Amino acid sequence: MLRYALRRLLLAVPLLIGITFVSFIVIHLAPGTPGEVQTGDLSIQSDRDVQKLLMELYDLDKPLHVQYAKWLTRLVRFDFGRSFSPDARPVLQKIGERLPITLLLNVVEMLIIIALAVPIGVLSATRQYSMFDKVTTVFVFVGFATPDFWLALLLMILFGVQLGWLPISGLRSLNWEYLSFWRQQGDFASHLVLPIIVATFGGLAGFSRYMRQSMLEVIRQDYVQSARAKGLAERVVIGKHALRNAMLPIVTVLGLSLPGLIGGSVIVESIFAIPGMGQLMVQAVFERDYPVIMGNLVIVATLTLGANLLADVTYGLVDPRIRVGARRGRR
Amino acid sequence: MKLPLAVVPLALAAALALAACGGEADSAVEQGSARPGEKPAYGDTFIESLTGNISGLIPNVLSDSASFEIGSMLYSGLITRDKDLNIIGELAESWTFSQDCLDLTFNLRRNVRWHDGRPFTAADVVFTYETMIHPKTPTAYREDFKAVAEVAAPDPYTLRVRYKQPYAKALQSWGLWMLPRHLLESYVREGRLREAPQNRSNPVGTGAYRFGEWKPGEKVVLVANPDYFEGRPHLGRVVYRIIPSQATIFLELKAKGVDAAGLTALQFKRQTEYPAFRKAYHKYEYPANAYTYLGFNLKDPRFADRRVRQAIAHAINKRELIDGVLLGLGREATGPYKPGTWAHNPDVPTYPYDMAKARALLAAAGWTETNADGVLVRNDQPFTFELLTNQGNDERKKVAEIVQASLKELGIQVDIRVIEWASLLKEYIKKRRFEAIILGWGIGLDPDQYEIWHSSKTGPDELNHISYANPEVDALLEQGRTSCRQAERKKFYDRLQTILAEDQPIVFLYFRDALPVVSSRVRGIVPAPSGIRYNFNEWYVPTHLQRYTAG
């Protein structure tokens, strides 16, 4: 198992370099340069001088492979470079100040989704075509089809403007510095309620459907029948025997959504004015801020590869058949 | 608010347009103004909203409007603009021009200190100039200082500037934000000004507000500078909240989460007219620094004929256009200068809505027959053209539709095409592959529009994309930008506007109104031709109405 994991880890290195190389080429292919973006589209002479200056400053006048080589040699030393945006700050610093809030939002959202989606999926599967199944199906599809920004605005109008129970946007109230510690936490949490509801609502749909589908397949299996025949309580049959197997595909999906945890939701972040990764990335793309885009890509790519590996390893842990298969293969 | 940009495309200008002209904010004038006999109080926090993150704190090397706005609070220039957009002294007490417009001498204020306590002197001005012309400083304002031959500081409070040739924008260009030599010199020398820590935190200026904190993507906090040379400003703190979504800003406004915002015409007229909102906010309106136009490709033989352009101008009912598109919140444009500013000439030929006259003009140009569809035909060619505008601007799309309907009545068939901004610019405007366009121009505070109208500026990357060429206009533009005397320049620009009005190289449609609202607890606001922000330091909240007491 360990050797398998190590081998996968080593293979990931060339893969990562390949990903960054292709990404590097592709983002440089997009029309527009940082200089053009910074000086406007229709430009007068002085703007073109600035554009030229910026091209030299950022090495953009050099051939692409030279730029890539420079970037890669810096990366090996964990130097992600400085942002092309006029604040010229180190990329890692920019990502570092945006990451915690996005991570927090996404982890909480993910936990809520799992906590809700698993029981919903299991219940609708075991009671297929029951009233509960039908109602949740409708609910879930409504959730899937509702645009984030629209739901967000409705909730803001109701809870923020009409009732005044919750803050509309941002992360902290203006008098935050002057609140006591516990009030600060309460204030912060109240700002997160609406964004989390909106983000959860959409994600819940997909996950509970997966769970339902996976459960439906499992409970038709013979061994579930046998478990029932042994006279086990239905709760044990479903909760212990069926659920564990039904979780397998969910683990894969979960693993793959790990890298998504650091990529914020652009729409939710923009509408709730949350300074997270989504906003940073979108702004970087608009500004053609290549170092920030690449920095973000490297992190996401690394996490994706890591998550894949993790999912494969977890498979082995959850499903003895895979573990046995690997052992047999080694012989 | 300083706007040293001569000409900016409307995409930018919409955000930049803050300075403007007197409005009919009837009730607001009295409500928002200071109460007679009331002593302005100090304190409270004013909460602004910004849609974009600022990109830094040294505005001289930045280019986004949000950074300019905050920069103007932190830094000051030698000169600034008063409520009527006249140039007045800020860090300069007075100035004199030599007879030939080549020598400009400033006398600087003596009581000015940087936020860190060091005195401000002429050496700082020389340094700022050197920063701007340093080949490694990425600034869009270098153009303004290229005409300078020499800058010298004979003593700490005198600055002498010598120009190579007379330069109309000489005085205006010194409204630039002054930078402290003692902190930034080494960064400028190394060409790393953007990396200076003052661009990220603790900027040091001479402005009315000092830096508090900047949480990227979240907020920027400024605090009143008690040692400001014109006296401590009344509002104790200004918080700029960064809220990317316009819809969210509007809701925050309703929930009193922000104190000021710019509204759309629809919000201004229809969604904020209920009593609670009227009580909580005062509304203001004044023409923005940008106009919308219908432009022609003058290389197209049909549009090269002036009578055709005049006919089209007569066929468009501008009032109806403003009512339909802006719910009446705009002013008819007769030329490229804003009504109420010194360069504007009110006595130019106009084109009142008159279909008969339009038909006669087209007939004179040879468009007499119509085909079965009612479209004018000349030499078997029907008069149809494609009207382009950019995606994402509903206002322009509506304008295009009204123009289409108006011209249909005249017998001209218009096909509208809405194209994404970047490709419209790259593939159509720059390559001159268009027949007609609906776009806008943002206008600067100086009337020099050489870049837009001069016949030498018709290259692919240049701004005269309609290919307008008129020798008299060329001469006027050249004369206008080489004089330093306003009265003399006014003559040139008056004549320029008359010619442009006669020629109608584009149909000037309207100036949209800027529609800001400000919390009603703030007093001291007096709308003027330059808008409302010119006297921000005098705004105050009476003690009993102050909302944020902490801090």
Contacts of B194 in chain A (CB under 8 A): 86-88
Q: Over the stretch A190-209, which tens digit does the pLDDT of each residue have?
A: 999 999 998 888 788 888 88
- Cα separation of A189 and A34, whole Å? 37
Q: Under an 8 A CB cutoff, do B252 and A275 touch?
A: no
DSSP string, A257-307: HTGGGTS--HHHHHHTT--SHHHHHHHHHHTT-HHHHHHHHHHHHHHHHHH
Q: Under an 8 A CB cutoff, do A156 and B426 touch?
A: no
- How wide is the angle at C-alpha B91 spanned by C-alphas B90 and B92, nearest 5°? 85
pLDDT level of residue A45 (50, 70, 90 thresholds) = low
Q: Under an 8 A CB cutoff, do B254 and A161 touch?
A: yes
Contacts of B248 in chain A (CB under 8 A): 156, 168-169, 271-273
Residue A30 pLDDT greater than 80, yes or no = no
Q: Under an 8 A CB cutoff, do A86 and B56 touch?
A: yes
| Residue A259 or residue B163, greater confidence | B163
Amino acid code (one letter) for A284? A
Contacts of A175 in chain B (CB under 8 A): 548, 550
Residue B541 pLDDT greater than 70, yes or no = yes
Q: What is the pLDDT of residue A46?
A: 60
Q: Does B138 touch chain A (CB under 8 A)?
A: yes
Q: Over the stretch B97-135, which tens digit does the pLDDT of each residue have?
A: 998 889 999 999 998 999 999 999 999 999 999 999 998
* Per-residue CA distances from A33 to A39, A55, A94, A112, B141 (Å): 10, 8, 20, 41, 20
Amino acid code (one letter) for B337? Y
Listed by number, the residues of chain B in 251-310 with a beta carbon closer than 8 Å to a beta carbon of chain A are 251-252, 254-255, 257
Please give the average per-residue pLDDT across A160-164, as a whole number: 89
Is the complex ipTM more than 0.90? no
Q: Which of B239, B248, B461 sits opposite A168 (nearest CB)?
A: B248
Contacts of A169 in chain B (CB under 8 A): 243, 248, 251-252, 257
- Enter the pTM of the model: 0.84
Instruction: List the single best residue of B62, B184, B252 to mutate versus A (max A Cβ within 10 A).
Output: B252
- Look-up of token digits 């912060």: A188
Q: Over the stretch B125-168, which tens digit does the pLDDT of each residue have?
A: 999 999 999 988 888 788 788 889 999 999 999 999 999 988 88
Q: What is the pLDDT of residue A252?
A: 76
Residues of chain A with pLDDT > 70, as a percent, come to 92
pLDDT level of residue A139 (50, 70, 90 thresholds) = confident
Pairing of strands B381-382, B384-390: unpaired
| Residue A230 or residue A5, greater confidence | A230
Q: How far is A290 from chain B (nearest CA, A)?
A: 16
Q: What is the pLDDT of residue B474?
A: 94
pLDDT level of residue B24 (50, 70, 90 thresholds) = very low
Q: What is the pLDDT of residue B31?
A: 65
- Cα separation of B275 and A328, whole Å? 79
Helix, strand or coil for residue B175? coil
Q: How far is A129 from chain B (nearest CA, A)?
A: 41
In eight-state DSSP terms, residue B341 is S
> Mean pLDDT score of chain A, rounded to an integer?
83
- Cα separation of B141 and B71, whole Å? 15
Instruction: Give the lowest-confidence range in A108-117, A256-265, B87-96, B178-187.
Output: A256-265
Residue A308 pLDDT greater than 90, yes or no = no
Residue A319 pLDDT greater than 80, yes or no = no
pLDDT level of residue B23 (50, 70, 90 thresholds) = very low
* B142: nearest CA partner in chain A: A46
CB B528 within 8 A of CB B534: yes
pLDDT level of residue B11 (50, 70, 90 thresholds) = very low
Can you list the positions of beta strands (E) in chain A?
none
Residues of chain B with pLDDT > 70, as a percent, come to 94
Residue B451 pLDDT greater than 60, yes or no = yes
Instruction: List the single best residue of B194, B420, B481 to mutate versus A (max A Cβ within 10 A).
Output: B194
Residue A42 pLDDT greater than 60, yes or no = no
Range among A43-57, A164-178, A301-315, B326-340 rated most confident? B326-340
Contacts of A283 in chain B (CB under 8 A): 53
Range among B166-170, B218-222, B419-423 rated most confident? B218-222
In eight-state DSSP terms, residue A102 is H
Contacts of A50 in chain B (CB under 8 A): 138-140, 142
Range among A31-35, A96-100, A315-319 rated most confident? A96-100
Q: Does B136 touch chain A (CB under 8 A)?
A: yes
Tokens describing residue B184: 């930034």
CB A50 within 8 A of CB B138: yes
Q: Does B461 touch chain A (CB under 8 A)?
A: yes
Q: Under an 8 A CB cutoff, do A85 and B245 touch?
A: no
Q: Does B421 touch chain A (CB under 8 A)?
A: yes
| Residue A159 or residue A330, greater confidence | A159
Q: What is the pLDDT of residue B174?
A: 94
Q: Which of B47, B63, B218 sits opposite A38 (nearest CB)?
A: B63
Q: Does A14 touch chain B (CB under 8 A)?
A: no
Residue B12 pLDDT greater than 60, yes or no = no
Amino acid code (one letter) for B358? A
Contacts of B53 in chain A (CB under 8 A): 275, 279, 283
Q: Which of A273, A279, A283 sits opposite B248 (nearest CB)?
A: A273
Contacts of B242 in chain A (CB under 8 A): 273, 275
- Cα separation of B110 and B119, whole Å? 8
Other C-beta atoms closer than 10 Å to the C-beta of A325 total 12
CB B266 within 8 A of CB B76: no
Residue B16 pLDDT greater than 80, yes or no = no
Q: Name which of B456, B433, B187 is nearest B299 in CA terms.
A: B433
pLDDT level of residue B2 (50, 70, 90 thresholds) = very low
* A54: nearest CA partner in chain B: B138
pLDDT level of residue B314 (50, 70, 90 thresholds) = very high
What's the burial of A317, exposed, middle or buried (CB within 10 Å: 0-12/13-18/19+)?
Answer: exposed
Listed by number, the residues of chain A in 55-74 with a beta carbon closer than 8 Å to a beta carbon of chain B are 57
Alpha-carbon dihedral angle through residues B517, B246, A39, A280, given to the nearest 10 degrees: 130
Residue B30 pLDDT greater than 70, yes or no = no
Instruction: Give the lowest-confidence range in A242-246, B35-39, B372-376.
Output: B35-39
Listed by number, the residues of chain A in 193-252 with a beta carbon closer than 8 Å to a beta carbon of chain B are none
Instruction: List the single best residue of B173, B248, B423, B451 to mutate versus A (max A Cβ within 10 A).
Output: B248
Q: Under an 8 A CB cutoff, do A40 and B254 touch?
A: no
CB B193 within 8 A of CB B179: no
Residue B210 pLDDT greater than 70, yes or no = yes
Q: Does A174 touch chain B (CB under 8 A)?
A: yes
Q: What is the pLDDT of residue B387?
A: 95
Q: What is the pLDDT of residue B13?
A: 35
Instruction: List the single best residue of B218, B441, B453 to mutate versus A (max A Cβ within 10 A).
Output: B218
The β-bridge partners of B332 are B510
Q: Under an 8 A CB cutoff, do A270 and B7 touch?
A: no
Residue A119 pLDDT greater than 90, yes or no = no
Please give the average per-residue pLDDT across B179-191, as a whole number: 93
Listed by number, the residues of chain B in 206-245 with a beta carbon closer than 8 Å to a beta carbon of chain A are 215-219, 239, 241-245
Instruction: Give the lowest-confidence range in B23-32, B198-207, B388-397.
Output: B23-32
**Long-range contacts of range B63-66, CB-CB < 8 Å, 24 or more positions apart?**
B63/A38, B63/A39, B63/A40, B63/A86, B63/B140, B65/B12, B65/B15, B65/B16, B66/B15, B66/B240, B66/B242
Tokens describing residue B161: 């500037």
> Mean pLDDT score of chain B, rounded to an integer?
87
CB B536 within 8 A of CB B273: no
**Long-range contacts of range A78-82, CB-CB < 8 Å, 24 or more positions apart?**
A80/A291, A80/A294, A80/A295, A80/A298, A81/A291, A81/A295, A82/A291, A82/B195
CB B79 within 8 A of CB B125: no
pLDDT level of residue B237 (50, 70, 90 thresholds) = very high
